[in-house]
Structure 1
């Protein structure tokens, strides 16, 4: 479910708990931080851009790119490509995937450079691949959302588990 739909789905009682990008605000909805992340580029260690500490979107003007599948979150996909375009770069997306392994393998095979968040890949790279921060994006905050008045045992147990795993 796209993160923009979470508050409405909670209000309509289609879901009891949702995860999405923060801020996520709606009357009667509470949120708890779960994780922070950054947009990053996964690339071969031997690629010329790998020598940089961070990469700007304008550095990627002539590079083939791998992205998460648009069907996973159309609004977020459009946001990322829009950020490229506002930087004056028409992104050359050559492959979309919903699988971490496929993204890394495609980079390793030389298909393209992978635009992905730190919370998706969490520093686990195939040998010979490195990650560099994409400097033109803000930090991403993910949160857990629920109806404030919901006191059901399942929701409370999930909230307790999220607190135990590091959420605030």
Structure 2
């Protein structure tokens, strides 16, 4: 034999009546007439198989079965309320887990302030950080291993397939020199002055676009940079320059890396040309601008479509 379904309305009506012990007052508190309240209670008693309330000249009281059900009913209603609140907060991006990929050099510029602002505004969101260069970040986004990326110089076509990018900031490029280098005595260095030095650079596969930007900058000044050493991270680039293994051109944030024997100098802009710079961008999946990602992007100054 089928048993009547147990509904949240019945449990709510039961707990209110148990608190008021008066059908009229309970119905008024629930905002319904007394007959529908009586029907809710009868359905619940049918489901339980025993009376939950005594009804008589002395008023309404809880039966032993009602006394047993009351704490469980309150826990169930509280659990539903907590679940609904958690779902609302998750849906609005107030809680959850956000997986962020970032290029290591951004830990020297935009990343710390962005993370601090996010923690202050959304303390219920757990941040999972993954240090990745540009190309691996794009792969991780497509494979849904991260939710949003902060990368340097997204390559042309990074928006496809399925990805969107937007500029967060443009950062100046600087010369990275051994402290004993003759040009280290100058406040600004001409790019052409580095033509005879070996270069320490990130490999192309780590950041194709920034790699090509540096090469193009040198070519515009009439020389092809001679590769001396490769390094995957800008911190390593600075260390190798400090060891006297060459010079480099790098984002200005590298100046925060304090390594003995290294000098950072501005690059002189060529005639009728702005000072060389590099783009920092945010990247995300076009089909996944959920609230966690959207709120992070807005803090970075980006408004997803």
Using structure 2 for the length normalisation, give the TM-score.
Answer: 0.43
Q: Is the 8 A contact 1:54 1:134 kept in 2?
A: yes
Q: Is the 8 A contact 2:190 2:268 kept in 1?
A: yes
Partner of residue 44 from structure 1, selected from 170, 178, 188: 178
Q: Is the 8 A contact 2:251 2:277 kept in 1?
A: no
Partner of residue 276 from structure 2, selected from 138, 147, 153: 138
CA distance 1:86–1:29, shift in 2 (3 Å): same
Task: Note the residue ranges of structure 1 that are not aligned, 5 or more in a row.
Answer: none
Partner of residue 251 from structure 2, selected from 109, 117, 123: 117
Partner of residue 31 from structure 1, selected from 166, 170, 182: 166
Structure with the greater alpha carbon radius of gyration: 2
Give the superposed CA RMSD: 3.4
1:65 matched to 2:199: yes
Name the structure with the higher helix share. 2
Aligned residue pairs, count: 157
Q: Is the 8 A contact 2:178 2:246 kept in 1?
A: no
Which SS does the other structure have where 2:150 is aligned? strand
Shift of 1:149: 7.1
Partner of residue 19 from structure 1, selected from 147, 150, 161: 150
Which SS does the other structure have where 1:49 is aligned? helix
Give the whole-Å Cα distance in 2 for the aligned partners of 1:30 and 1:106.
Answer: 32
Give the whole-Å Cα distance in 2 for the aligned partners of 1:14 and 1:79.
Answer: 27
Partner of residue 104 from structure 1, selected from 238, 241, 262: 238
Higher relative contact order (CA 8 A, sep 6+): 1
Give the whole-Å Cα distance in 2 for the aligned partners of 1:74 and 1:30.
Answer: 16
Using structure 1 for the length normalisation, give the TM-score.
Answer: 0.71
Task: Note the residue ranges of structure 2 that are not aligned, 5 or more in a row.
Answer: 1-132, 270-274
Q: Is the 8 A contact 2:243 2:261 kept in 1?
A: no
Which SS does the other structure have where 2:205 is aligned? helix
Which SS does the other structure have where 2:210 is aligned? helix
